[in-house]
Structure 1
Amino acid sequence: MPWEYKTILLCVLSIYITSLVAGLDETQEDDQCTELNNTTWAEYRQLGVKLQVLYLLLTRNNMDCAHKFNQESLTRPASYFNVSRPTKVIIHGYRALGSKPSWVKELAQALLRAQDVNVVVVDWVYGASFAYNLVVENYKEVAVQISVLINQLQEHGCKLESFHFIGVSLGAHVAGFVGTLFEGKIGRITGLDPAGPMFKGADIFDRLDPSDAQFVDAIHTDSDYFGISIPVGHVDFFLNGGKDQTGCGRSRFASMYGYVICDHMRALHVYMSALNSSCPLMGIPCSTYEDFLKGQCVDCGVFKGTCPVIGLSENSGITMSQIPKEQKLFLLTSSTPPFCAHHILLELEVSTLDKSAEVEVTLITENLGTEQRLRLQTDMTVYRTVLAHPVALCEIDSIWMTNTGARFYRQGEIHVKSVCVSEFPSLRHEAPLCVNNINIKRGVLWSHDFVQVCSFY
Structure 2
Amino acid sequence: MSQGHKMILLCAFTVFITSLVLGVKDRHPDECADLNNTTWQEYRQRRVKLQVQYLLLTRKNLDCAQAFTEESLTEGQRLSYFNISRPTKVIVHGYRALGSKPSWIKELAWSLLRAQDVNVVVVDWIYGASFAYNLVVENYKEVAVQISVLINQLQKHGCKLGSFHFIGVSLGAHVAGFVGTLFEGKIGRITGLDPAGPMFKGADTFDRLDPSDAQFVDAIHTDSDYFGISIPVGHVDFFLNGGKDQTGCARSRFASILIYFPVYGYVICDHMRALHVYMSALNSSCPLIGIPCSSYEEFLKGNCVDCGVFRGSCPAIGLTENSGISVSPVPKEQKLFLLTSSTSPFCAHHVLLRLEVSPLDKSAEVEVTLRTESLGREQRVRLQTDTTVYRTVLTHPLPLCEIQTIELKNTGSRFYRQGDIHVKSVCVSQIPSNRQDVPLCVNNIHIRRGAPWSHDFVQVCDY
TM-score (norm 1): 0.92
Deviation digits for residues 143-200 of structure 1, max 9, x if unmatched?
A: 0000000010011111111100000000000000000001111110000000000000
**Aligned 1:240-389 pairs, distance under 5 A:** 240-254=241-255, 255-389=262-396
The AA in structure 2 aligned to 1:34 is: A
Aligned twin of 2:139: 138
Q: Secondary structure at the match of 2:90?
A: strand
Deviation digits for residues 214-273 of structure 1, max 9, x if unmatched?
A: 100000000011000000000000000000111111234413222211110000000001
Q: How many residues in Structure 1 have an aligned counterpart in Structure 2?
A: 431
Aligned twin of 2:34: 35
Is the Cα–Cα contact under 8 Å of residues 353 and 411 in structure 1 kept in the other structure?
Answer: yes
Aligned twin of 1:52: 51
Aligned twin of 1:170: 171
Q: Does 1:69 align with 2:76?
A: no
Q: Structure 1: where are the runs of 5+ without partners?
A: 1-24
Is the Cα–Cα contact under 8 Å of residues 348 and 383 in structure 1 kept in the other structure?
Answer: yes
Shift of the 159–196 alpha-carbon distance from structure 1 to 2, 3 Å rule, reads same
- CA drift at 1:359: 0.9
Of 71-80 and 119-128, deviating more is: 71-80
Q: Secondary structure at the match of 1:434?
A: strand
Is the Cα–Cα contact under 8 Å of residues 362 and 371 in structure 1 kept in the other structure?
Answer: yes
- CA drift at 1:47: 2.1
CA distance in 1, matches of 2:54, 2:123: 5
Deviation digits for residues 371-405 of structure 1, max 9, x if unmatched?
A: 11111111111100001111010111211111111
Q: Secondary structure at the match of 2:29?
A: helix
Of 153-162 and 396-405, deviating more is: 396-405
CA distance in 1, matches of 2:249, 2:435: 32
Is the Cα–Cα contact under 8 Å of residues 341 and 391 in structure 1 kept in the other structure?
Answer: yes
- CA drift at 1:78: 1.9
Aligned twin of 1:129: 130
Q: Secondary structure at the match of 1:178?
A: helix
Q: Structure 2: where are the runs of 5+ without partners?
A: 1-24, 256-261
CA distance in 1, matches of 2:286, 2:73: 38
Aligned twin of 1:3: none
Q: Does 1:395 align with 2:402?
A: yes
Deviation digits for residues 65-111 of structure 1, max 9, x if unmatched?
A: 10100010012352111111111100000000000001001111111
**Aligned 1:194-273 pairs, distance under 5 A:** 194-254=195-255, 255-273=262-280
Is the Cα–Cα contact under 8 Å of residues 339 and 395 in structure 2 kept in the other structure?
Answer: yes
Q: Does 1:404 align with 2:400?
A: no
Is the Cα–Cα contact under 8 Å of residues 405 and 443 in structure 1 kept in the other structure?
Answer: no
Q: Secondary structure at the match of 1:190?
A: strand
Of 41-50 and 268-277, deviating more is: 41-50
The AA in structure 1 aligned to 2:285 is: S
The AA in structure 1 aligned to 2:192 is: G
RMSD: 1.5
- CA drift at 1:431: 2.5
Shift of the 253–138 alpha-carbon distance from structure 1 to 2, 3 Å rule, reads closer
Q: Secondary structure at the match of 2:447?
A: strand
- CA drift at 1:449: 1.7
Is the Cα–Cα contact under 8 Å of residues 87 and 120 in structure 1 kept in the other structure?
Answer: yes
Of 70-79 and 112-121, deviating more is: 70-79
CA distance in 2, matches of 1:150, 1:73: 13
Aligned twin of 1:147: 148
The AA in structure 2 aligned to 1:210 is: P
- CA drift at 1:50: 2.3
- CA drift at 1:430: 4.3
Q: Secondary structure at the match of 1:81?
A: coil
Deviation digits for residues 343-372 of structure 1, max 9, x if unmatched?
A: 011110111112221111111122322111
Identity of aligned residues (%): 82
Deviation digits for residues 324-345 of structure 1, max 9, x if unmatched?
A: 1000000011111111100011
Q: Runs ≥4 in structure 1, deviation > 6 angstroms?
A: none
CA distance in 2, matches of 1:346, 1:321: 33
TM-score (norm 2): 0.91
CA distance in 2, matches of 1:155, 1:103: 31
Rg bigger for which structure? 1
The AA in structure 1 aligned to 2:102 is: P
Is the Cα–Cα contact under 8 Å of residues 42 and 48 in structure 2 kept in the other structure?
Answer: no
Q: Secondary structure at the match of 2:106?
A: helix
Is the Cα–Cα contact under 8 Å of residues 345 and 422 in structure 1 kept in the other structure?
Answer: yes
CA distance in 2, matches of 1:412, 1:250: 37
